Amino acid sequence: MNVITDTIQKLGVVPVIRIEDPSQAVPLAKALARGGLPLAEVTFRTSAAAIAIRNIKKECPEICLGAGTVTTTDQADAALEAGASFLVSPGFNPRVVKYCVSKGVPVFPGTCTPGEMEQAMELGLDTVKFFPAEAAGGPAFLKAVGGPYPQLRFMPTGGVNPDNIGAYLKLKNVIACGGSWMVPEDRIAAKDYEAITRLASEAVALAARCRTEGGSL
């Protein structure tokens, strides 16, 4: 693992953020940091993503900052130029993965089949996103693939929430879970950063508690 992966694993949860207004990026990042969660995956689901990443990188250098929903090499370039330290994709696109690997950039492509997982390992990856986690089989699926692929680690995202995160984090092959419950769009739109700080703090505490109670494969 690398420094990025170590940081993600230590925190246990990855805030997956959709930002419409780039002026909200810095206050949002600061709210997460105040809650003990200096980590953010800003998704390329809006045109504000690159600007938001650039603003966070400039004003909040303590944030471990990534870009999500990266599906093309052009988006990868835009994210890296803006200041992203790692990239996350919803699916397994060999071209994007190879491009990131060639640049030495940590990349977590989405996988949900053994075939995609083997392709990831073939390209030198030891940690991938598991998406859509709940729809693709949830903790039971990850426990099953842990047998033939003991060296592979996962970051489940998609349908993960406070009610089911424990079932994922108890697995030894899960480093963290991605989710948006600590950065709800209605709270971002309302600029309710106190609520986001509280939700971030609760998410970190929940992840730590689940890890303490877990340990199964």
Q: Is the peptide bond before 132 cis (omega within 30 degrees of 0)?
A: yes
Best CA proximity match to 66, nearest among 103, 32, 106: 106
Catalytic residues: 41, 129
Rounded to 10 degrees, the C-alpha dihedral 31/206/106/134 comes to -110
What whole-number distance in Å separates Cα of residue 22 and Cα of residue 120? 33
Instruction: Evaluate whether 169 touches 210 at the Cβ level (below 8 Å).
Output: yes
Kindly write down the DSSP assignment for every residue of 11-42, as one continuous string: H-EEEEE--S-GGGHHHHHHHHHHTT--EEEE
User: Which amino acid, 41?
Assistant: E
